[in-house]
């Protein structure tokens, strides 16, 4: 460890020697014992910061330490010095003169500069004026009086060219040699009235040639008033320039003053090391000591391990503890927020669960009453996996309230997942009517399509027998009756139609699509479709018969029921059954809602028809008749075995318990 420390110290000493060597190569031009810098400005003799450091009062430099970094000013005035060269040149910053107008007032600053020992370098500086209604004059003294200036005009700011000072918006002129003072004055032909408010001011200044590039934006507003520009001044001692003083061996001006302060003055403390530098010296304390090393200063001493140092350590420790405590407080607040948010979410889920029949779901989950398959809850992650992250290729259909995806559960079961596209509360209720508030519903996958497809699409593989149709009608009516009468909160389907009745692999009915329309009347339409195998809207026939319902009711009222029946229904069913179902459909289609049966009554009558199916008297072997019935594209004639209209009419009384009146 000690060898590493020695190596580091050796490298630092080598680096210090290199720095001192480089500094020794740069001549020091400050008087010995005098301040050589003020901020970034080097102060060479004959300039100085007071006392014997400057040759005369005209070469006084005031170092203002209230600025960071410090700023140097010429004499006791406000001319900021930015560079002093031993080549006999001095650079200062000067304000801009201006002459500003508004509709009623004039604001004028006659800028000027008065110098005694310094002259303005005529090669490096120029007089510049800018404005669209401007005449600017600079006048002064260089052994005798002088005056010069320029004119700048423009009709509009858009007429000027950036970078050009040719008299349109900007003008320039040179100044005489050896000028030691000047004053700027302004004139205006129309008080800027022709160019207000775009150009309210005229500006003029003396500045270094390359320090300003004209821009049209300088003509607008009043911001240019605060601009300052550098001016290069020439300085000399008496009538001798700095170059001439350097050639005179008897003249001390502009020359380096360098003595060995360490040998002649011994300014450092006994334990400090003195290093002679060009024009000055440096005292450095040994490693482990502190202080400036000077006899007249704090010297060199070991760090004082008094109670104050312990106090500082205590303050540091206290600060660390406070910071750690604050961080722990923030962590506690965050933990508490997460805890409360989690509790609120749980409470919100419980409220949704209760509001949307959750207690009924729990009851169903705990029992298999009535052969109802248990309801299963899924997590959103499970459904995301089942649908391959809701892949577009898995879409089965789109509804008004959501999109249905085909999914496969982890046990291989195929399901249909409905994802809500409703986000605002106003439209959330229709989706809630589909049993849950959570915007994901899982149904068993229905492979045999809809009842509408079964009725209207010809498929010899699956014959549409009357028994199948009657069973489907009874199942649908029982389901709707349960929703109307047995659910804890009545649920109304309101869009019952054959395309919303799904058929599973055993052709059992599954109702879907809970939206806002009607129930009993719609079920009557389904019964008519089952009896006639026709779509609700016919594409041909008389005006009255374009609607299947109107055509059906008209046929029943005119004792022409046979004209509307599907040949397969006519062939398979018994006339009492057909008449009873037809009459029940007519009651459901009553235009006055008060005269319609309830879904419970409809379900009971259909179930009674199914139960009595074997007790109806067997009809005699039907005669060969020709049945003419409407289709979607016209009328067709087919040969079928059935009964005559008269036989239907005479048999109504046999099923009187199922109806309140006769055809």
Positive or negative, the Cα torsion across 344, 345, 346, 350?
positive
Q: Which residue in the list 133, 218, 234, 495 is annotated as catalytic?
A: 495
* Whether the Cβ atoms of residue 230 and residue 91 lie closer than 8 Å to each other: yes
Residues of the chain with pLDDT > 70: what percent?
Answer: 67
Highest mean pLDDT out of 82-91, 237-246, 444-453? 82-91
Length of the chain: 663
Cβ–Cβ under 8 Å, residues 81 and 73? yes
Tell me: the pLDDT tens digits for 371-386? Answer: 445 567 777 788 889 9
Task: Tell whether the model's pLDDT for residue 650 goes beyond 60.
Answer: no
Please tell me the distance from the alpha carbon of residue 628 to that of residue 645, in angstroms, as a whole number. 13
Phi, psi of 279 (to 5 degrees): 80, -5
Predicted pLDDT of residue 327: 94
Q: How far is 339 from 332, CA to CA, in rounded Å?
A: 10
* Rounded Cα–Cα distance for residues 238 and 251 (Å): 12
Q: Indicate the pLDDT class of residue 611, thresholds 50, 70 and 90.
A: confident
Q: Is the peptide bond before 408 cis (omega within 30 degrees of 0)?
A: no
Domain with CATH 1.10.510.10 in the chain: 451-658
pLDDT of residue 628: 32
φ, ψ dihedrals at 154, nearest 5°: -165, 145
Quick check: 208 pLDDT over 70? Answer: yes
pLDDT bracket for residue 657 (50, 70, 90): very low
pLDDT of residue 489: 52
Locate tokens 């055809």: which residue? Answer: 663
- In whole angstroms, give the CA distance from residue 31 to residue 261: 13
Structure confidence at residue 661 (pLDDT): 37
**β-pairing verdict for 501-503 and 509-511:** antiparallel
CB atoms within 10 A of CB 622: 15
Residue 14 has pLDDT above 60, yes or no: no
**Looking at the DSSP assignment, which residues form a beta bridge with residue 228?**
95
What's the gap between Cα 9 and its chain centre?
A: 55
Rg (CA), the chain: 54
Helix (H/G/I), strand (E/B), else coil: 311: helix
Question: In angstroms, how far is the first alpha carbon of the chain from the final one?
Answer: 118
Of the candidates 582, 662, 659, 650, the one whose C-alpha atom is nearest the C-alpha of residue 617 is 650
| Residue 512, SS3 per DSSP | coil
Distance (Å, rounded) from C-alpha 439 to C-alpha 121? 84
User: Which token pair is 147?
Assistant: 């005056």
Assess whether pLDDT exceeds 60 at residue 663: no
Q: What is the mean pLDDT of residues 553-581?
A: 86
Name the fold adopted by 372-444.
Answer: Phosphorylase Kinase; domain 1 (3.30.200)
> String of b and e for 10-39 (b: at least 16 CB within 10 Å)?
eeeeeeeeeeeeeeeeeebbbbbebebebb
Distance CA 502, CA 302 (A): 96
- Name which of 206-210, 533-537, 554-558 the model is least confident about: 533-537
**How confident is the model at residue 228, as a pLDDT?**
94
Q: How far apart are CA 358 and CA 340, in angstroms?
A: 24
Q: What is the pLDDT of residue 192?
A: 77
Instruction: Determine how many CB atoms are found less than 10 A away from the CB of residue 216.
Output: 19
Q: What is the DSSP letter of 121?
A: -
Q: How many CA atoms lie within 13 A of 394 on its CB side?
A: 22
CB 323 within 8 A of CB 315: no
Distance of CA 169 to the CA centre of its chain: 45
d(CA 410, CA 577): 46
> pLDDT tens digits for 571-608?
888 888 888 999 999 998 887 778 888 888 888 888 88
What's the CA gap between 503 and 495, in Å, rounded?
17
Cβ–Cβ under 8 Å, residues 172 and 126: yes
Q: Which fold has domain 259-304?
A: Laminin (2.10.25)
Segment 128-175, tens digit of pLDDT: 999 998 999 998 877 788 899 999 999 888 889 999 999 999 999 999
CA distance 253 to 241: 10
Sheet containing 112-114: which strands, arranged edge to edge?
Answer: 112-114, 181-187, 133-141, 145-153
Half-sphere exposure of 150 (CA within 13 A, CB side): 25
Where helices occur in 376-465 by DSSP H, the ranges are 380-386, 429-432, 451-456
The string of pLDDT tens digits covering residues 269-312 is: 888 888 887 656 789 898 888 888 888 788 898 876 655 556 77
Checking if the pLDDT of 508 tops 60, the result is yes
């879907």: which residue's tokens? 512
- Is residue 343's pLDDT more than 70? yes
Helices vs. strands in the chain: H and E counts, helices first = 15, 28
Which residues fall within 8 angstroms of residue 313, CB to CB, at 6 or more apart?
Answer: none
Q: Which residue has the higher pLDDT, 348 or 22?
A: 348
Residue 615 has a pLDDT of: 56
Q: What is the pLDDT of residue 504?
A: 67
Structurally, at CATH architecture level, domain 451-658 sits in: Orthogonal Bundle (1.10)
For a pLDDT cut of 90, what percent of the chain falls above it? 20
Q: Which residues make beta-bridge pairs with 18?
A: none
Sorting pLDDT into bands at 50, 70 and 90, what band is 370? very low
Torsional sign, CA 464, 466, 468, 474:
positive
Helix (H, G, I), strand (E, B) or coil at 525: helix
Q: Does residue 497 surpass a pLDDT of 60? A: yes
Which residue do the tokens 């607040």 mark?
A: 333
pTM given for the model? 0.38
| Residues carrying CATH 3.30.200.20, the chain | 372-444
Answer yes or no: 495 catalytic: yes
Average pLDDT, the chain: 75
Q: What mean pLDDT is predicted for residues 47-53?
A: 89
> Which range has the worst mean pLDDT, 7-16, 212-221, 455-464?
7-16
pLDDT on residue 324: 93
The two tokens of residue 430 are 């229709």
Provide φ and ψ at 110, rounded to 5°: -85, 95
Q: What pLDDT score was predicted for residue 563?
A: 82
Parallel, antiparallel or unpaired: strands 201-208 and 125-130: antiparallel
The helix/strand/coil state of 97 is strand
């Amino acid at each position: 460890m000690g060898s590493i420390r020695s190596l580091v110290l050796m490298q630092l000493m080598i680096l210090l020697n290199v720095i001192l060597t480089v500094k020794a190569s740069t001549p020091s031009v400050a008087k010995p014992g005098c301040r050589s810098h003020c901020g970034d400005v080097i102060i060479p003799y004959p300039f100085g910061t007071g006392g014997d450091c400057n040759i005369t009062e005209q070469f006084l430099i005031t170092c203002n330490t209230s600025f960071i970094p410090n700023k140097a000013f010429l004499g006791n005035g406000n001319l900021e010095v930015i560079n002093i060269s031993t080549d006999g040149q001095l650079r200062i910053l000067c304000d801009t003169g201006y002459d500003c107008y508004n509709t009623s007032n004039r604001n004028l600053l006659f800028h000027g500069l008065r110098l005694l020992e310094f002259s303005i370098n005529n090669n490096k500086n120029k007089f510049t004026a800018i404005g669209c209604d401007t005449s600017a004059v600079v006048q002064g003294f260089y052994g005798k009086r002088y005056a010069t200036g320029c004119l700048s005009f423009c009709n509009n700011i858009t007429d000027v060219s950036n970078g050009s000072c040719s008299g349109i918006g900007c003008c320039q002129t040179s100044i005489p040699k050896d000028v030691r003072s000047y004053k700027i004055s302004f004139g205006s032909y129309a008080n800027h009235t022709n160019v207000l408010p775009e150009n309210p001011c005229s500006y003029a200044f003396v500045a270094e040639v390359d320090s300003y590039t004209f821009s049209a934006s300088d003509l607008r507003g009043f911001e240019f008033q605060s601009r300052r520009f550098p001016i290069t001044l020439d300085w000399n001692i008496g009538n001798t320039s700095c170059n001439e003083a350097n050639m005179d061996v008897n003249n001390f001006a502009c020359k380096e003053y360098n003595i060995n302060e360490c040998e002649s003055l011994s300014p450092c403390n006994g334990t400090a090391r003195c290093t002679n530098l060009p024009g000055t010296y440096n005292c450095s304390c040994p490693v482990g000591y502190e202080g400036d090393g000077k006899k007249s200063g704090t010297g060199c001493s070991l760090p004082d391990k008094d109670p104050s140092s312990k106090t500082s350590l205590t303050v540091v420790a206290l600060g660390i503890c406070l910071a750690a405590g604050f961080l722990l407080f923030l962590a506690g607040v965050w933990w508490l927020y997460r805890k409360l948010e989690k509790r609120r979410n749980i409470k919100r889920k419980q409220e949704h669960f209760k509001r949307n029949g959750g207690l009924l779901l729990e009851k169903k989950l705990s029992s298999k009453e009535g052969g109802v398959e248990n309801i299963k809850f899924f997590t959103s992650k499970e459904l995301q996996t089942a649908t391959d992250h809701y892949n577009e290729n898995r879409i089965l259909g789109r509804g008004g309230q959501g999109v249905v995806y085909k999914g496969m559960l982890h046990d291989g079961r195929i399901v249909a997942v409905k994802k809500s596209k409703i986000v605002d509360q106003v439209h959330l209720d229709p989706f809630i009517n589909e049993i849950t508030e959570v915007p994901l519903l899982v149904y068993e996958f229905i492979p045999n399509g809809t009842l509408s497809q079964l009725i209207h699409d010809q498929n010899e593989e699956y014959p549409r027998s009357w028994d199948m149709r009657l069973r489907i009608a009874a199942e649908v009516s029982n389901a709707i009756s349960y929703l109307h009468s047995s659910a804890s909160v009545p649920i109304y389907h309101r869009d019952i139609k054959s395309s919303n009745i799904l058929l599973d692999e055993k052709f059992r009915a599954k109702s879907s699509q809970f939206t806002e329309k009607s129930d009993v009347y719609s079920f009557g339409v389904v019964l008519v479709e089952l009896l006639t195998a026709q779509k609700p809207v016919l594409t041909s026939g008389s005006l009255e018969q374009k609607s299947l319902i109107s055509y059906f009711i008209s046929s029943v009222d005119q004792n022409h029921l046979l004209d509307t029946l599907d040949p397969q229904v006519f062939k398979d069913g018994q006339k009492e059954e057909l008449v009873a179902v037809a009459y029940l459909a007519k009651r459901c289609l009553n235009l006055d809602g008060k005269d319609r049966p309830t879904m419970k009554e409809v379900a009971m009558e259909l179930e009674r028809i199914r139960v009595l199916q074997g007790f109806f008297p067997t009809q005699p072997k039907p005669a060969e008749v020709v049945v003419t019935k409407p289709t979607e594209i016209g009328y067709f004639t087919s040969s079928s075995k059935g009964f005559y209209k008269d036989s239907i009419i005479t048999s109504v009384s046999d099923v009187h318990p199922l109806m309140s009146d006769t055809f």
